[in-house]
Amino acid sequence: MKRSLLLLLAVFVSIGMQANTGITKVPTPDFNVRVTTIVASATFYHASVFLTNPGPAERDLIGNIDWDFGDGSAPVLHGGPVTDHFYQPGTYTITLTFTYVSGETFTITKPVVITPIEL
């Protein structure tokens, strides 16, 4: 009886060890920016900043997202995967600091150029 229990325990431990050795590679995050003008305004522009990777199917892997829009406004800490922001014409550097629930952290920066409208 003891040997049967020990054998059964050894099998379960072996299965558990094999199940926990798989390492899942998390996708490198990325984002895009779409800029549109606000109706009746030539000085403010609406920018939609959105994640392109990870996609909606992988959102449960996200632990934290911090956005810095590079325009002197306060960073958006613990923000969601989709963020809207307003700009005046100029060149800005958007910084995304992204943390997965596994603890991996990525920092990505992208320049955004907002050009004035010629009226």
Rounded to whole angstroms, the Cα distance separating 37 from 86 reads 10
Strand boundaries in 1-119, DSSP class E = 30-37, 45-53, 62-68, 82-87, 90-100, 105-114
Tell me which fold the domain 25-114 belongs to.
Immunoglobulin-like (2.60.40)
Residue 34: what residue type?
A: R
Cα 53 to chain center, whole Å? 7
Whether pTM exceeds 0.85: no
Instruction: Provide the residue-wise pLDDT of the chain in tens; the chain has 119 residues.
Output: 555 544 444 544 454 444 444 556 778 888 888 877 665 566 677 788 888 888 888 888 889 999 998 988 888 888 777 777 888 888 999 999 999 999 999 999 999 888 776 65
Q: Choose among 45, 21, 25: nearest CA to 35.
A: 45
Q: What residues have CB less than 8 Å from 57, skipping those under 6 apart?
A: none
Ranges of each domain in the chain: 25-114
